[in-house]
């Protein structure tokens, strides 16, 4: 495996601005972020927006916002600047045109006048004949002079690279030695014929395509390592040819494991491939989402001991400390939403309370609860009570509804505890105790009340605690009453008891 010991590391994340940032892209970004952070390198964010029909600045803003919310800061990018910009491909078209013309002038590329419909027919015919659907070379035989005359006459064309007819070899940091056999790649487009409404990037040069742009940019921006998903491995043979054509040094490649859904099918929205925006807006913590994503296809060294004490709970700083390409795995990873929820619950339980309170507030406000009208310390205690009960921040308002809903509802499971013969004296005993208590109800008062009920009603264990909980909260389960009832206060608890007795007929 390749090791790196200096600040020369330069990596990139290059999304297309066609929508929100999805979890697969976030994982790729995270791997690159951690590698740069580990070695004191530079993370570049490059916007690949040559698909003019689908790319928008609004989508770009959405992606950058999601990256910011995840806390994965990059050092160079469209909004951060840098010495090798511009960082939007749409602003680098003259660079691609210059390089494309250079290949044409050296006869390493030629103009292809075949229409999209004709290319589709050729591809379908080749497949019917059991041949590889490579370009058949029709336009490769057109002389330069004839091609230029046709362009001057108004015909449109793309530029096609003359593929090398030899084995191309990649030494991948995850896959090991990968061979692309001679003939496995046919002549491929480096620029395409402009679609309706598109303009040529230079006279006679169509719109650049992905494999060409990314090599030109990765070289110009000094990328030392390309860490990306396995789905890009099939592109690599073409990209290696472009590197060779220009005589450029090839960066280190690491193609990470693909991610499958819990059904072991291709990841989709149905089985977990939701946008980062949706996950965060549903109450997932950025730290938990990143912690979960990094373990999809990577594992820390066996001797690394996280401060959490759990081998799978690691902070971003800890991840950066131990991350290396050695830990990347070949086997597909499974996106288990249930495990993500468990991990998120761990972060909600263990992050500092003031941080959880700050992040929880928007979810209470969204639920219609006027948080600011409650004392800050009281609200924090309520959040602290229920954060151990939930795995998503969005579930906190519902879990803590007892404290914010003026009405009280008796759950069926709780009502069952009030119907038993042993429970009959309990409602009167609790009402009497509360009516004679002081306005400030303490944990000691609650303990005294339960002891009194136990002695006078002759009950203990569940036959004591469950009816008391049912009468005071209307619920069968929840946090300790010694913590709940003092926060509710004597008057409100008494109103609960009166209403629940009415509903239960006790």
The phi and psi torsions of 413 (rounded to 5 degrees) equal: -65, -35
In angstroms, the Cα distances linking 468 to 3, 237, 445 are 63, 71, 14
Phi-psi category of residue 66: left, alpha or beta, with phi > 0 → left and psi -120 to 50 → alpha: alpha
Residue 411 neighbours by CB under 8 Å, 6+ apart: 470, 474, 475, 476
- Length of the chain counted residue by residue: 506
pTM for the full predicted model: 0.91
* DSSP secondary structure of 19-33: SSPBHHHHHHHHHHH
Helix 353-366 vs helix 376-386: crossing angle, to nearest 10: 90
The Cα 47–Cα 66 span in angstroms is 14
Q: What pLDDT is recorded for position 323? A: 97
Q: Coil, helix or strand for 41? A: coil
Contact 273, 24 (CB under 8 A): yes
CA-nearest of 140, 160, 138, 157 to 148 is 157
Angle at 100 between CA 94 and CA 101, to 5 degrees: 90
The Cα 349–Cα 361 span in angstroms is 16
* DSSP secondary structure of 212-233: HHHHHHHHHTT--EEEEEGGGG
Contact 396, 364 (CB under 8 A): yes
DSSP single-letter state for residue 437: S
Contact 227, 35 (CB under 8 A): yes
| Other residues' Cβ atoms within 10 Å of the Cβ of residue 134 | 16
In angstroms, the Cα distances linking 55 to 78, 214, 228 are 15, 16, 21
The Cα 482–Cα 427 span in angstroms is 18
Residue 45 neighbours by CB under 8 Å, 6+ apart: 12, 13, 14, 15, 64, 67, 74, 76, 77, 78, 80, 87
List residues with catalytic annotation.
Answer: 269
Residue 422 neighbours by CB under 8 Å, 6+ apart: 457, 458, 459, 463
**Three-state SS string across 300-313, please?**
CCCCCCCCCCCCCC
DSSP H or E stretch at residue 365: helix 353-366
Residue 82 neighbours by CB under 8 Å, 6+ apart: 44, 75, 76
Instruction: For residue 178, list its beta bridge partners.
Output: 170
Contact 142, 111 (CB under 8 A): yes
β-pairing, 259-261 vs 333-335, is parallel
CA-nearest of 239, 243, 236, 234 to 132 is 234
The Cα 109–Cα 112 span in angstroms is 9
**Tokens found for residue 474:** 């209307």
The phi and psi torsions of 205 (rounded to 5 degrees) equal: -115, 120
Helix 57-70 vs helix 286-294: crossing angle, to nearest 10: 90
Instruction: For residue 189, list its beta bridge partners.
Output: 160
Phi-psi category of residue 90: left, alpha or beta, with phi > 0 → left and psi -120 to 50 → alpha: alpha
Q: What pLDDT is recorded for position 299? A: 95
Contact 209, 89 (CB under 8 A): no
Instruction: Print pLDDT tens along the chain (506 aa).
Output: 444 444 599 999 999 999 899 999 999 999 999 999 999 999 999 999 988 778 899 999 999 999 999 999 999 999 999 999 999 999 999 999 999 999 999 999 999 999 888 888 888 887 888 777 889 899 999 999 999 999 999 888 999 999 999 999 999 999 999 999 999 999 999 999 877 666 677 777 888 999 999 999 999 999 999 999 999 999 999 999 999 999 999 999 999 999 988 888 887 766 667 899 999 999 999 999 999 999 999 999 999 999 999 999 999 999 999 999 999 999 999 999 999 999 999 999 999 999 999 999 999 999 999 999 999 999 999 999 999 999 999 999 999 999 998 888 899 999 999 988 889 999 999 999 999 987 789 999 999 999 999 999 999 999 999 999 999 999 999 999 999 999 999 999 999 999 999 998 88
Instruction: For residue 484, list its beta bridge partners.
Output: none
Question: Which residue is associated with the tokens 């090791």?
Answer: 3
């Amino acid at each position: 495996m390749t090791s790196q010991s200096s600040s020369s590391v330069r990596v990139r994340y290059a999304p297309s601005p066609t929508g929100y940032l999805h979890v697969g892209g976030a994982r790729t970004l995270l791997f690159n972020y951690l590698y740069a952070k580990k070695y004191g390198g530079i993370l570049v964010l490059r916007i690949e927006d040559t698909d003019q029909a689908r790319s928008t600045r609004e989508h770009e803003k959405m992606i950058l916002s999601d990256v910011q919310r995840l806390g994965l800061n990059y050092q160079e990018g469209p909004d951060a600047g840098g010495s090798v910009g511009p960082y939007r491909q749409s602003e680098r078209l003259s660079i691609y045109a210059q390089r494309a013309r250079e290949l044409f002038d050296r006869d390493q590329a030629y103009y292809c006048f075949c229409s999209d419909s004709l290319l589709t027919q050729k591809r379908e015919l080749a497949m019917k004949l059991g041949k590889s659907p490579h370009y058949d070379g029709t336009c490769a035989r057109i002389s330069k002079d004839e091609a230029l005359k046709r362009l001057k006459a108004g015909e449109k064309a793309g530029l096609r690279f003359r593929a090398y007819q030899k084995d191309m070899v990649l030494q991948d940091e995850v896959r090991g030695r990968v061979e692309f056999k001679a003939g496995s790649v046919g002549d491929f487009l480096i620029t395409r014929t402009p679609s309706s409404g598109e303009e040529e990037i230079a006279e006679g040069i169509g719109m650049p395509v992905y494999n060409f742009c990314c090599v030109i940019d990765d070289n110009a921006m000094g990328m030392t390592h390309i860490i990306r998903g396995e789905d890009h491995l099939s592109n690599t043979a073409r990209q290696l040819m472009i590197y060779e054509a220009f005589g450029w040094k090839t960066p280190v490649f690491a193609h990470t494991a693909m991610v499958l859904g819990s059904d072991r099918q291709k990841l989709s929205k149905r089985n977990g491939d939701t946008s980062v925006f949706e996950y965060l807006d549903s109450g997932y913590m950025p730290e938990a989402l990143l912690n979960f994503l990094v373990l999809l296809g990577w594992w820390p060294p066996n001797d690394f001991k996280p401060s959490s004490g759990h081998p799978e709970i690691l902070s971003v700083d800890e991840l950066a400390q131990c991350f290396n390409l050695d830990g990347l795995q070949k086997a597909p990873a499974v996106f288990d939403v249930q495990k993500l929820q468990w991990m998120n619950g761990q972060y909600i339980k263990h992050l500092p309370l003031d941080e959880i309170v700050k992040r929880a507030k928007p979810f209470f406000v969204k639920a219609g609860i006027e948080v600011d009208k409650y004392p800050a310390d009281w609200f924090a205690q309520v959040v602290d009570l229920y954060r151990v009960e939930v795995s998503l921040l969005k579930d906190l308002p519902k879990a803590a509804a007892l404290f914010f809903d003026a009405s009280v509802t008796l759950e069926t499971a709780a009502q069952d505890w009030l119907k038993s013969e042993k429970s009959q004296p309990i409602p009167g005993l609790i009402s009497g105790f509360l009516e004679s208590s002081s306005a400030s109800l303490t944990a000691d008062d609650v303990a005294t009340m339960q002891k009194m009920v136990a002695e006078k009603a002759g009950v203990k264990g569940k036959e004591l605690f469950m009816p008391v909980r049912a009468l005071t909260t209307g619920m069968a389960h929840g946090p300790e009453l010694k913590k709940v009832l003092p926060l509710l206060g004597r008057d409100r608890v008494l109103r609960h008891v009166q209403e629940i007795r009415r509903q239960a007929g006790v």
